[in-house]
Copies of this chain bind each other. A is one copy, B any other.
Amino acid sequence: MSSDSNRRMVILTDGHSNPLTAKTACSVLRYCQNEVIAVLDTGAVGQTAEQLLGTGGTTPVIADLDSAPDAKTLLIGIAPPGGKIPAHWRPIILNAIARGMKIVSGLHEFLADDPEFSAAAVTAGTELVDVRNNDEHDVANRVGVRSDCLRILTVGQDCCVGKMVVSIELTRDLIARQHQAKFVATGQTGILISGDGCPIDCVVSDFISGAVEKQVLAGQDHDILCIEGQGSLAHPRYSAVTLGLLHGSIPHGMVLCYEAGRKSIHGMPEIGLTSLDVLKSAYESAANLMMPSQVIGIAMNSRLLSAEKAEDERHRVREEFKLPVCDVFRHGPGELTEAVLTLKQQIQSR
């Protein structure tokens, strides 16, 4: 999906190679594996990316950049709360710069604002790319939004439950079924994968809905937009991002995403999750402040469950909500795709 098929990336996850913290790495490996040469984690040398991160096939894990002499790009592969670069990564990044590699980061702390990194990049004549850097300064206007371009937003019970992945898998399935669908990226990883989008969590608050609206307007040459959700309405840290995205994209339908078995807010173990039931109502009420909208399906991330437990959970949630429920990896996104197409027909026939 990327706009640059020759990035030749090494993904840096050193010491942080778990699927939640290293979600940028995992998603880029999953959707752009042919552009990734290696994963750099000194503690896991000899493993494959698939063994270390659960995705990425035989992509090797290496200990240093000497093992990847033809790499062109070093990608910072993690997204920690607060978004700062781990201190022990500095020499690795400086080494990559000295080799003339492009450094790509989706962190809140910009590479270009770091005097040591930026001086080194000038010396080496290479580029520092901060995917989250933006200059969004326009408010939403609600002008020119097409009523016949279906907007589907993924919403979640928490951060890091798979909203981006659900939006991408849904888009791919719609395209496979001959629909003009587009994945609209709203976070750094989605942007790295798709080659466009807006890092909305790094937009100044007054302009978040405006920034999202711009993405919607830019995508309206398609018939269906699958918009990447962010955070959760019940997240103590990031609910503002979630609502700005919801009200900026004014979706016709929402897919509610959650991880089965999770008990507390990601990164805040002392704060319990809000129930799916309460959250479904909260999303629908909040969306309906702007435009009629409903949750049309539930995407279950069942990575913590056995196949049997996952079936039980799927059955339970289907019964509770009377909605399509699936794990897009385990079951494929088909049921959700059909719910999207049903909604499209309903809206067209109004």
Using CB atoms and an 8 Å cutoff, list the residues of chain A in contact with chain B. Answer: 81-83, 108-109, 137-142, 200-206, 208-210, 233-234, 236-244, 247, 268, 270-271, 274, 278, 281-282, 285-286, 289-290
Task: Say how many copies of this protein the assembly contains.
Answer: 2
Q: Which residues of B contact A141 (CB under 8 A)?
A: 268
A contact patch SS: mixed
A282-B289, A285-B282 given; A204·B206 CB < 8 A: no
Interface pair A206/B210, CB less than 8 Å apart: no
Interface pair B205/A241, CB less than 8 Å apart: yes
Interface pair B209/A202, CB less than 8 Å apart: no
Q: List 11 additional A-B contacts (Cβ < 8 Å) besides A108-B137, A203-B205, A233-B286.
A: A82-B139, A140-B236, A202-B204, A202-B206, A204-B204, A209-B238, A209-B240, A234-B289, A236-B247, A274-B289, A282-B286
- Pick from B206, B242, B278, B290: contact of A236, CB under 8 Å: B290
Interface pair B206/A241, CB less than 8 Å apart: yes
- Pick from B108, B140, B204, B268: contact of A203, CB under 8 Å: B204
Complex: how many Å from CA A247 to CA B208? 17
Q: Which residues of B contact A203 (CB under 8 A)?
A: 204-205
Interface pair B201/A205, CB less than 8 Å apart: yes
Complex: how many Å from CA A142 to CA B272? 13
A82 nearest in chain B by CB position? B139
Interface pair B237/A240, CB less than 8 Å apart: no
Complex: how many Å from CA A282 to CA B247? 14
Interface pair A201/B209, CB less than 8 Å apart: no
Interface pair B81/A139, CB less than 8 Å apart: yes
Interface pair A206/B108, CB less than 8 Å apart: yes
Q: Which residues of B contact A290 (CB under 8 A)?
A: 234, 236
- Pick from B108, B109, B242, B268: contact of A142, CB under 8 Å: B268
Interface pair A205/B200, CB less than 8 Å apart: yes
